[in-house]
Amino acid sequence: MSVRHTLVAAATLAIAASVMAPASSQTLRYANQGDLKSLDPYTLNETTTHAHLGQIFESLITRDKELKIAPGLAESWETPEPTRWRFHLRKGVKFHNGDPFTADDVVFSADRVRAKGSNLQTRIDADVKVVKVDDYTVDFILTKPNPILNSQWDTWWIMDKKWAEENNATAPTPAAATTPTYASLHENGTGPFTIESHQPGVKTVFKVNPNWWRKPEHNLKEIIFTPIASEATRVAALLSGEVDIIEPVPLQDIARVDASPNAQMLKGPEIRTIFLGMDQTRDELLFSSIKGKNPFKDVRVREAFYKAIDIESIKTRVMRGLSTPSALMIAPQLFALSKDFTRPKYDPDGAKKLLTEAGYGDGFEVTMDCPNDRYVNDAAICQAVVGMLARVGVKINLLAQPKAQYFAKVLKPGGYQTSFYMLGWTPGTLDSHNVMYDIMGCRDDPKSPRGETNLGGYCNKEFDKLTDQVLQETDTTKRNLLIKQAFEIAMKDYAYIPLHQQALAWGVSKKLKVVQRADNQVLPYWMVKQDE
């Protein structure tokens, strides 16, 4: 081959290479109400923090765009027997500092995530044994079958054993640490981005990791993240084009964002369920005009409350159409048989009749606890409920407080001090069992964590029995039927009054293509930004 030919060939190659190179890389500017609170991935179990950690760390499994479990750092896995899970790890993956990823890191991360001070201890039960088989195979040996062992692992971030040992960071940074640890200020994950600078509450800058093992679906070279707590300012920043994406957009500004030439709304159903609960355990309500007995122990009163609530009005008036009324305590995306359930109809006359039958024809007074800075329009929803119950003769004294005071009062450490309350719940495992166990299970055994967030103390032993069967049943069809059976019991008992799943409300620049996942994690690794 002559020199000329070689040159031509080289030129052709160069052109081919330039054509194949990804579209020019971009800077993503992103603002959120919340913040990335700690770089130690086991300090805090919180959505916004996890979404950020997911840019720098990876886990054995990952959740795809539809929230289905997909391979991550583990290429594949199988369950040779119900109590043994075997994970085959991906080869050739490197941490940001160049260390190779191996089975040792998985065993180390499993120990660390369960160690004292970790806020994610529930990711793997304490009695699970994690055994390295070879450098790229790990066994998880269980004491009893658990079909949802890995369901929460999309946020069990894998750390580098060698790095942690070198930097004295083998113990997790407790949420209440009195001195910051190395791991809370530095990161070393395997993920698509690295942290360039992290100023908590001010700004965090991510840089792309050029050595990532996956082919990127994004075209970003840099992410500049700013927490902006003030709602009006966050919206203004999007409208003026200073940021590319904001979360959340307050409901009253949705029309403004949609009308803007630069940006548009991205709305979708979220998986958090908002519901009302009633104290059903105390013999006398703490905050009520009725003395000597507890009206909520009477199923007719609970039914009357349920039927007095006009969920469609809440949807159209309070939520401006951005909610999905729910018959269940879990979102339809998370339970296949959801469509078999419908809400009992809104029926104020029926509700009044039920109250009369129960002996409360003249109505009664009860205090309702409600957060006012936690969920979308939370206090407004509670105000609507107050008006609706007034129509059937129940006088509600509304106590709407900031979440700091609200949770201090109603949760277990506060002694469940509530008679009637509103709460929202996303099952961490994205599975019904979590709701059945934490929210709807009996809390009569003080040693068991069952029913810990069951603030009203609903209790039905038959329901609990089904919950236990659900945990061990490995056949999906049978399992779903068991869950359905349990939810039917709870519905018959009027255990809770589910209201709705609120909607996600992201404001996105028209230059940006994003994937909106129902768990409200804003994930830049799926974002593509057009050239300026």
Partner 1 sequence: MLAFTLHRAIQAIGVMIAVGIIAFSMFRFAGDPVNQIVSLDTPPAERAAVRQSLGLDDPVIVQFARYVGNAAQFKFGVSYQFRQPVTALLMERMPATLELATCATMLAMVFGILMGVYSALRRDTLLAKAFQAISLIGISLPTFLIGILLIYLFAVVLGWLPSFGRGEVVRIGWWTTGLLTVSGLKALIMPSVTLGLFQMTLIMRLVRAEMLEVLRTDYIRFARARGLTTRAIHFGHALKNTLVPVITVAGLQFGSVIAFAIITETVFQWPGMGLLFVQAVQNVDIPIMAAYLLFVSLIFVTINFVVDILYTVVDPRLRSTISGAA
Name the residue nearer to partner 1 (CB basis): 23 or 255: 255
Least gap, CB of 375 to partner 1 (angstroms) = 12
Least gap, CB of 9 to partner 1 (angstroms) = 46
What's the count of helices (H) and strands (E) in the chain, helices before strands? 15, 19
Q: Identify the three-state secondary structure at position 403.
A: helix
Least gap, CB of 295 to partner 1 (angstroms) = 27
Least gap, CB of 433 to partner 1 (angstroms) = 13
Name the residue nearer to partner 1 (CB basis): 155 or 294: 155
Name the residue nearer to partner 1 (CB basis): 149 or 257: 257
Residue 103 has φ and ψ, to the nearest 5°, of -60, -30
Name the residue nearer to partner 1 (CB basis): 229 or 390: 229
β partners of residue 268: 504
HEC string of 297-346 equals HCHHHHHHHHHHCCHHHHHHHHCCCCEEECCCCCCHHHCCCHHHCCCCCC
Name the residue nearer to partner 1 (CB basis): 11 or 229: 229
Least gap, CB of 40 to partner 1 (angstroms) = 8
Tokens of residue 148, six digits: 């949802």
Tokens of residue 384, six digits: 């609507």
Least gap, CB of 436 to partner 1 (angstroms) = 13
Name the residue nearer to partner 1 (CB basis): 270 or 438: 438
d(CA 139, CA 117): 25
Name the residue nearer to partner 1 (CB basis): 40 or 493: 40
Name the residue nearer to partner 1 (CB basis): 44 or 386: 44
Nearest residue to 256 via CA among 246, 228, 461: 246
Least gap, CB of 299 to partner 1 (angstroms) = 27
Least gap, CB of 278 to partner 1 (angstroms) = 19
Least gap, CB of 360 to partner 1 (angstroms) = 32
Determine the residue type at 68.
Answer: K
| Residue ranges that bind partner 1, judged by CB under 8 A | 31, 35, 37-38, 40, 43-46, 116-117, 119, 121-122, 173-180, 184-185, 199-203, 226-230, 232-234, 236-237, 239-242, 373, 402-405, 407-408, 411-414, 425, 428, 434, 438, 449, 452-453
d(CA 170, CA 153): 20
d(CA 347, CA 305): 10
Nearest residue to 208 via CA among 197, 196, 226: 196
Report DSSP letters for 227-286, one per residue: E---HHHHHHHHHTTS-SEEEPPPGGGHHHHHH-SSEEEEEEEEEEEEEEEE--SSSS-S
Residues of the chain by 3-state class (helix, strand, coil), percent to 5:
35, 25, 45
Least gap, CB of 449 to partner 1 (angstroms) = 5
Q: Is-contact 280 299, C-beta < 8 A?
A: no
d(CA 380, CA 274): 13
Q: Is-contact 418 279, C-beta < 8 A?
A: yes
Name the residue nearer to partner 1 (CB basis): 133 or 229: 229
Least gap, CB of 43 to partner 1 (angstroms) = 7
Name the residue nearer to partner 1 (CB basis): 147 or 227: 227
Name the residue nearer to partner 1 (CB basis): 209 or 432: 432
The torsion defined by the Cα of 292, 297, 298 and 303, in degrees rounded to 10, comes to 130
Q: Within 10 A of 245 (CB to CB), how many other CB atoms are there?
A: 22
